[in-house]
Amino acid sequence: MPEYKMYINGGFRGASDGGTLTTRNPSTGEALGAVPSATADDVNDAVLAARAAFPAWSGLPQAERNKFLFKIAAAIRENADEMALLECLEHGTPYRDAFGVCMGAADKFEWSANAALRIKGDEIPVPNPDTLTYIKREPAGVCAFIIPWNLPTIMTAVKIAPAIAVGNTCVLKPPSVNSRIGLFFAEVIAKSGLPAGVVNVISGSGAVSGALLASHPEVDIVGFTGSSETGKSILKAAADTVKKSVMELGGNNPVLVFADADVDACLKVLAWRQFNNSGQHCSGPGRYYVHESVYDGFAAKFKAYAENLTVGDTSGGDKSVDMGPLVSREHQTKVTDYIKSALSEGATLLTGGTASETGYFVAPTVLTNCAHGMKAAREEIFGPVAVLIKFTDADDVVRLANDSRFGLCAHVWTRDISRGLKLIPKLSAGAVFINCQMLTNEQPWGTSIRESGIGKEGGDYGLREFLDEKLVCVNYGG
């Protein structure tokens, strides 16, 4: 098994005290080996390397920075198979999805480079004669990124690409449970010839290195994707230095399936989303409100979809596998506890519900006869579990959809597009999908609604999160 090191100031090294942590194969539970566990000195070295690299990197013409981003994209494509197999091994991603994710990561660097060329200032009309006033957008500085374990490869690209494209430098901490993915990504980035210190990757626990990054006085922006609870602790750590924070946090996303919905089309999109990556998506469906007239048919088709999936060991890159394990034993237990809770509150197990002792698998699960007040309907399960709730009143279902501490996204399925459009302002969510779900490089993702986060990722809006807006006022009249 290869030995992976942290990437600091253009070089690879272990932790300064020799400390390590172990990652595991979620398909088998077997230990894969040790990765460095960063100390406070390691974190400081990485941040100071990013700070030292910032003036030269931010001062490069955009076209020169872009050359490096294109080289990173090319290096990802050249190493995509190895990167994909590592994601299969350490995260439990089926090979087809893992390879697609690597291609998406390459696309993200190219898209960010091209999009950065569009960033311009804005002139502001003022009544004063002989005065020019405008907004100048400049790189913010050093970015600290703490990425989640559910989509480690693509989230590494989502964080790094836009930040460095517009001239920032960064320190990234991959998730402790699958750190090898992030550390190998650093090796791929190094092949591009990127100047030392522009990107630094450290591994370690969130409680130590993550907290140190969030509170470090030389970090200008902290970006985090993960649970709302962890996000709150990061915001507290960042508060003492009043850092800008971009937080993509939890979701318990409502799906409204009306009587006239195309049920087959809905399931083709959302059942796939429910079980893809073993349900470990913040943007995935959280609770389905299904009109009583189509409820039974919807449930039956959902059951058939779940039972037709091939669930298996992903670590060897088997291309026939549709769904792999959850990321850890701890998370497997959390998901099965939600299933048990729902059943104890009166839900019916239509299919699935079982968990393996070898590896961290939970079978694709569909729960019917659920109620809005159940724990499984109120909280973020983050697993392959569909929670189906029957509704009759269209006005009441909107109230139920909004009755949540989250507000990341919402789904509406109806053939009546007029009804769907009228629901957009009524749904308290950062994104509303009508008869579809898509996330592209062009689209911004995120919200500032309740506990689902702060700010945007992706699209031109996401690029601007990493830019400071400076007011310039010039009197040219003498």
Rounded to the nearest 10°, the torsion over CA 105, 178, 195, 40 is 150
Rounded to the nearest 10°, the torsion over CA 438, 444, 449, 454 is 130
HSE-up of residue 55 (Cα within 13 Å, Cβ side):
2
Contact call for residues 99 and 437 (beta carbons, < 8 A): no
What's the Cα-to-Cα distance from 75 to each of 71, 110, 252, rounded to whole Å? Answer: 6, 12, 36
Tell me the three-class secondary structure of 291-342, residue by residue.
EHHHHHHHHHHHHHHHHCCCECCCCCCCCCCCECCCCCHHHHHHHHHHHHHH
Bridge partners of 366? 351, 386
Q: Which amino acid is at 5?
A: K
Sign of the torsion angle spanned by Cα atoms 101, 102, 108, 114 = negative
Bridge partners of 131? 475
What SS3 state is found at 468?
Answer: strand
Residues forming the active site? 248, 282
Structure tokens, 463 = 């690029």
